[in-house]
Amino acid sequence: MFIKKYELYLANITNNNLITSRIKMEINNSTKILPLIDKYPLVYDELYKLSSKAKRFKNPIVRKTIGKKATLEMVAVILDAPLERIISTVKGAIEASADIPPEKDRKEMLKNLLLDMHKGVDIDILKTQFKEAVGDITSYEIGQLEQQLINEGHLDPKEITKLSDLHVELFRDSLNMKEEYETIPGHPIYTYLQENLEIANIIRQIRTAPESDRVELFRKLGEITIHYARKENQLFPILEKHEISGPPQVMWAVHDEIRPLLKTTKSEEIDLALQKIEDMIYKEEHILFPMTLEFFSESDWVSVREGEEEIGFVFGVSPGDQWKPVTTADLHKPLPAKTTKAEGVLNLDIGNLSIEQVNVMLKTLPLDLSFVNENDEVAYYSDTEDRIFPRSRGVIGRTVQKCHPPKSVDIVEDILEKFKSGEKKVAEFWIQAGEAFIMIRYFAMHDDGGKYVGTLEVSQELSRLRSLEGEQRLVQWGE
């Protein structure tokens, strides 16, 4: 049925104006390559077949610098191919592009493919249809499709982790072409890729180790939660600002499937964890990272880079310092320091405090504090030295619903609804995380007139307090 629809579309093309205009386009050694790649994606695919070095023309950093001036003569040098062959390849790709459906129809075809897959149509059949009717897909298109299907109610976000695996499987052959990066030490993507290399190395060690050593080696992978926390706090919020929330939802849900498995000692669960971690590496390098490189501005990357330091790096990877932003003059400066607090005094209900005193006070409290305003946006968190839960500046301005994994959103919504209505004033949770006992409390905040102004989250590690016995009436300066 899908192929018939596609054939019908082609049959309805009754004139050759589009084809004629493409053939008449003058292509010579001084023709610039980027406009052609952007207008006719098949040009890139055909050049990539000549040489994998063509991937440079997809690299955002290259595109914003020398890529803007790159002519076909320069392409021939870069790809180490005769200029005549480059020109011939480009002309052929442009003419062949006449057989490719417009973007709108292409997206509709891809959406129908995914819907058929969810209905149970054999994936091998769908792969054949995909190659014949569409042929290639970008990471951005996958993200857009997942987002569109969620928005239209075709996909249940709670089931999206399973569906995402199918999406990757359907498009795997196409995605495999786009797995190489040219990044610079210090750029966040470079750091993620280096950590992925270390993760893959540990997985190989685990799989080849004697059974008696597997659990101890598997414990090394526990650090991966910091790698995931950077994505959740640094990359996902910026993607959401670009109205791409589907892929972040998918990945966060998978993170939450992996986290408890990292504590297992059972061999079959270790194997399951390793597979999920490897699948996540594939999704990062073939979907998430290309998507961020496509949409993030240099100022976005500066923000990501700054926030990374607050969460940290893992597996001995150091980010390096060679990367420098390249687009605008004001971004050639070093990474920005923390904003200096304005001078001023707050006249409180009782007493007066300077802004600096309030800031230091909040950071000194042995608590993690977070404040969500009346619009459900994270407006503040206390930058304490040893936070229980990692935070970074990327979370500021993000809706609190997006700061929780999909499985928890219903709970968040329920708390906020009851807080806003005045039905409830406090919500409490406590968890045992290894030796740590963590108390998490949410407080509804209303002004003197009863108007809801936000929610305060307070988290505290209580294991030491729970262990206290007897009395201590005098200060004892111990460890």
Residue 433 corresponds to which amino acid? Answer: A
Q: What pLDDT score was predicted for residue 298?
A: 84
75-95 in b/e form (b: 16+ CB < 10 A) is bbebbebebeebbebbeebbe
Place of tokens 């409390």: 441
Q: Is residue 395 part of a domain?
A: yes
Q: Is residue 340 part of a domain?
A: no
Of 31, 30, 32, nearest to 63 (Cα)? Answer: 32
Residue 405 corresponds to which amino acid? Answer: P
Q: pTM of the full predicted structure?
A: 0.60
Residues 318 and 238 in one domain: yes
Q: Is residue 8 part of a domain?
A: yes
Contacts of 255 (CB under 8 A, 6+ apart): 225, 228, 231, 232, 280, 405
- Ordered per-residue pLDDT tens for the chain, 479 residues: 434 443 443 344 333 344 434 444 678 888 888 888 777 777 887 888 888 777 777 665 566 656 667 888 888 888 888 999 988 898 888 887 665 555 555 566 666 766 666 666 676 776 666 655 555 555 556 666 666 666 666 666 556 555 555 556 655 555 555 445 667 889 999 999 999 999 999 999 999 999 889 999 999 999 999 999 999 989 999 988 887 777 788 888 889 999 999 999 999 999 999 999 998 998 888 888 888 887 888 888 988 998 888 889 999 998 888 888 764 444 434 444 444 444 578 888 888 888 889 888 988 888 899 999 999 999 999 888 778 887 788 788 888 888 888 788 889 999 999 999 999 999 998 988 888 899 999 999 999 889 999 999 999 999 888 888 888 877 777 65
Q: What pLDDT score was predicted for residue 60?
A: 59
Q: What pLDDT score was predicted for residue 468?
A: 86
Residues 65 and 138 in one domain: no
Give the domain CATH number at 309. 1.20.120.520
Q: Is residue 318 part of a domain?
A: yes
| Domain total of the chain | 4
Place of tokens 């990367």: 323
Q: Both tokens of residue 56? A: 């440079």
Last residue of a domain, which of 331, 357, 373? Answer: 331
CB-based contact 86:76 (threshold 8 Å): yes
**What would the pLDDT profile of 160-172 be if each residue is shown by its tens digit?**
555 555 556 655 5
Q: What pLDDT score was predicted for residue 147?
A: 67
User: Could you tell me where the beta strands, DSSP code E, fall in 177-233?
Assistant: none
Residues 305 and 205 in one domain: yes
CB-based contact 131:170 (threshold 8 Å): no
Domain that holds residue 138: 103-178
Residues 258 and 194 in one domain: yes
CB-based contact 160:249 (threshold 8 Å): yes
